[in-house]
Structure 1
Amino acid sequence: MPKFLHTADWQMGRTYSRFDTEDGAALVEARYEAIERLAALATEHQCDAVLVAGDVFDAQTVSDRTIRRVFNATRGFDGPWVMLPGNHDAALAESVWTRAKRLDAVPKNVYLALESGVTPLPEQGIAVLSAPLTQRHTYGDLTQPFDDMETPPELLRIGLAHGSVQGLLPEDIDSTNPIAPDRTETAKLDYLGLGDWHGVREINARTWYSGTPEPERFRNNDAGYVLIVDIKEPGATPKVTRHETARYQWHQWRESLSVPSDLDELLHRISQLPEASVLDLKLAGTLTLAGDQKLTEALSIAEARYRAVTCDRTRLQLEPTDDDISALLADGYLGEVVQELRESQQAVDKGSDAEVARDALAILASLLKPKDAEVAQ
């Protein structure tokens, strides 16, 4: 019974400049660890091969070190690997793949499917029909030649491609690199392993996207898995099981705050996240000064607990209550300043001035709070 692991969209060499240097480095390292985990999975489940459906690398210009590290990470599985160029690492005349060959970085058990054709793996009972991208964007279906490719009858016909299945993915998905939804039927494929969609997605019983093994963005599309595929014999229906490989979970929340309970609920949800989380918050609405200080403290704790936390407060307006003002002891001139900042936030012609006013209110509150605490003592 041939069994293989299907993965794609490793995007090695990807950087995370939006995060702090420490967090970005950890997210990069997690991608190498993901390759090591899937290699271990392939060995543990006694897979016959690992098939990578494109975008092994994030760009043609990745460093030599990245190239070497990627192939080093595959050492945990001694069986054959078949790697397909995708739109990020297309098989150009001069590409990341030709550099890998010059570096002598490609292990003997790794097959680079740089041309359309068949990679026979007779010992594994598999014939891999490959449709590599030789440029970033194409407008013809590169899997069409599968219909005419001949393979030994005793071997499974496994297609490997990178692109968009037409008519079945969301409308905002890139329309280039099209793939016919009935390719498994026309080409008599036992299975078609796809890359480009970064989450697990079943197109039909024989056609699957594996998604990326380590999430790298906030899209909620079931990323962080690989697929192990069992097919008893040519013509049999595949048994597809997914296995989690993600180190980090990515969460993107868009929240509107209007009453104190909204903030309490948000902070409770933040506290319940697993430690291996990447959190991106964008907040809107209104918040009291006391609530803003509570939020700031909670985010400071979260930043130390989780992998990465970012928070955009540009649409969050501070509305000090009478209790806020009283707690600040903002009498006289300070009271006038607070009132002026409140009015600046509420100006009809909002812009950078409103943001400055909001930030100034928050800073003023933080500076005056210790003084208030000393008086209370």
Structure 2
Amino acid sequence: MPKFLHTADWQMGRTYSRFDTEDSAALVEARYEAIERLAALATEHQCDAVLVAGDVFDAQTVSDRTIRRVFNATRNFEGPWVMLPGNHDAALAESVWMRAKRLGAVPANVHLALESGVTQLPEQGIAVLAAPLTQRHTYGDLTQPFDTTETPSGLLRIGLAHGSVQGVLPDDIDSTNPIAPDRTQSAKLDYLALGDWHGVREINERTWYSGTPEPERFRNNDAGYVLIVDIEEPGATPKVTRYETARYQWHQWRENLSVPSDLDELLNRMSQLPEASVLDVKLDGTLTLVGDQKLTDALSIAEARYRSVTCDRSGLQLEPTDEDIAALRADGYLGDVVQELRENQRANDEGDDAEVARDALAILAGLLKPKDPEVAK
């Protein structure tokens, strides 16, 4: 029973400029660890081969060190690897793949499918029909030759391609590198291993996207897995099992706060995240001064606990309650200032003036807040 691991979209060499240096370095390192995990999985589950459906590298210009580290990370699986160029690492005349060869970085058990054709793995019972991208964007279906490509009888016919299955994926990514949705039928493939969509997605029982093994963006599309595929014999229905490989979970929340319970619910959810979380929060609505301080304290705790936490509070307005104002003991001139800042928020609603007024009100509240808890009682 041939068994293989299907993965794609490693995009090694990717950078995370929106994060600070420490977090960026950790997210980069997690991608190498993901390769090591999937290699260990392939060994543990006694896979016959590992198929990588494109975008091993994020760009043609990645460093030599990145190239060497990628191939070093595969060493935990000694069986054959078949790697396909995708749109980020297309098989140009001068490409990252040619540099890897010149560096002598490609292990003997790694097959680079740089040209259309068949990679035969007779000991594993598999024939891999490859459709590598030789430029970043194409407008013809590179898998069409599969229909007339012959393979030895008795070997599984496994297609390996990188692109967009037509009429299935969202329209905004459906224009280049097209793949016919019925290719497994027309080419009599036992399985079509695809890359380009970064989450696990079943197109039909023989056609799957594996997604990226380590999430790299805020998109809820089932990223962070690899697929192990069992096919008893040519023509048999594949058994596809997904295994989680993600180190970090990415969460993006967009919340409107209007009553105190909204904030309580948000902070409760935040406190229950796993430590290996990357969290991006954008808030709008209103908060009392007490609520604003609760949010600030909770974010401080979360920033120390999770991999990365960012919170956009520009859409929030501070609405001090009478109790807030009384607790500040802001009377006379200070009371007038607090009232003026409240009115500036309401008058401007959105924009820089509202943000300045809100920030000033938060700073003033922090300065006036009693330092001795007993004083506030």
- Tell me which moved more, 205-214 or 339-348: 339-348
Query: Deviations along 1:43-87, whole A, 9 cap, x unmatched?
Result: 000000000000111111111111110000000000010000111
The answer on whether the counterparts of 1:328 and 1:372 sit within 8 Å (CA) in structure 2 is: no
Letter in 2 for 1:338: V
Distance (Å, rounded) in 2 between the aligned partners of 1:224 and 1:172: 23
For 1:137, the aligned partner's letter is: H
TM-score, scaled relative to structure 2: 0.98
- Higher deviation after alignment, 344-353 or 358-367: 344-353
Measured against aligned partners, the alpha-carbon deviations of 1:182-207 in whole angstroms (never above 9, x if no partner) come to: 00011110100000011111100100
Instruction: Quote the residue 1:269 is aligned against.
Output: 269
Aligned to 2:201: 201
Instruction: Output aligned runs, 1:236-315, within 5 Å.
Output: 236-315=236-315
| TM-score (normalizing by structure 1) | 0.98
Tell me which residue corresponds to 1:229: 229
Matches of residues 84-233 of structure 1 in structure 2 within 5 Å?
84-233=84-233
Shift of residue 239, structure 1, vs aligned partner? 0.7
**Structure 1 pair 362–349 and aligned structure 2 pair: CA distance change class (3 A):** closer
Match of 2:317? Answer: 317
> How many residue pairs end up in the alignment?
377
Map 1:76-87 to 2 at 5 A.
76-87=76-87
Once the two structures are superposed, residues 24-61 of structure 1 have per-residue CA deviations (whole angstroms, 9 ceiling, x without a partner) of: 11111111000000000000000000000001111111
8 Å CA contact 2:348, 2:354 repeated in 1? no
Partner of 1:337: 337
Between the aligned partners of 2:158 and 2:370, the Cα distance in structure 1 is 67
SS for the counterpart of 2:327 is helix
Q: Report deviation, 1:371.
A: 4.4
SS state at 1:75 partner: coil
Looking at structure 2, the residues matched to 136 and 171 of structure 1 have their Cα atoms a distance apart, in angstroms, of 18
Contact 2:370–2:376 (8 Å) recurs in 1:
no
User: Partners of 2:275 and 2:110 in 1: how far apart?
Assistant: 35
Once superposed, what is the RMSD of the aligned Cα atoms? 1.3
Distance 1:307 1:41 in 2: 25
Give the C-alpha shift of residue 324 in structure 1.
Answer: 1.0
The residue type equivalent to 1:302 in the other structure is A
Letter in 2 for 1:9: D
CA distance in structure 2 between the partners assigned to 1:252 and 1:349 by the alignment: 25
State percent identity of aligned pairs: 89
Per-residue CA deviation, residues 116-152 of structure 1 (Å, 9 max, x unaligned), is 1111111111110001111111111010011111110
Unaligned ranges ≥5, structure 1: none
Contact 1:164/1:173 (<8 A) preserved: yes
Query: Counterpart of 2:171 in 1: which secondary structure?
Result: coil
- Structure 1 position 370, deviation (Å): 4.0
Deviations 1:236-277 (A, max 9, x none): 111111111111111111100000000001000111111111
* Native 8 Å contact 1:113 1:132 kept in 2: yes
Q: Residue 328 in 1 paired to residue 295 in 2?
A: no
Q: Report the AA paired with residue 273 of structure 1.
A: L
Which residue matches 1:54? Answer: 54
Question: Counterparts of 1:18 and 1:374 in 2: how far apart (Å)?
Answer: 42
Match of 1:360 in 2: 360
Q: Deviations over 1:153-179 (max 9, x none)?
A: 111110000011001112333421110
Secondary structure of the corresponding residue to residue 312 of structure 1: strand
Alpha-carbon distance in structure 1 between the residues aligned to 2:98 and 2:336: 68
CA distance in 2, matches of 1:109, 1:80: 5
2:75 aligns to what SS in structure 1?
Answer: helix
Structure 2 unaligned residues grouped into runs of 5+ = none
Q: Is the 8 A contact 1:281 1:310 kept in 2?
A: yes
Indicate conservation of the 8 Å contact 1:133/1:162, yes or no.
Answer: yes
Distance between the aligned counterparts of 2:342 and 2:65, measured in 1?
Answer: 53
Secondary structure at 1:50's aligned position in 2?
Answer: strand
**SS of equivalent residue, structure 1 residue 76:** coil
Structure 1 CA distance for aligned equivalents of residues 304 and 370 of structure 2: 23
Q: Deviations over 1:75-130 (max 9, x none)?
A: 00000100001111111111111111111111111111111111111111111000
Post-superposition offset of 1:376: 4.5
1:22-37 alignment runs, 5 A limit: 22-37=22-37
- Identify the residue that residue 21 of structure 1 maps to in structure 2: 21
- Of the structure 1 ranges 162-171 and 28-37, higher mean CA displacement relative to structure 2 is found in 162-171
What is the alpha-carbon distance in structure 2 between the residues aligned to residue 210 and residue 14 of structure 1? Answer: 19
Task: Tell me the equivalent position of 1:67.
Answer: 67
SS at match of 1:242: strand
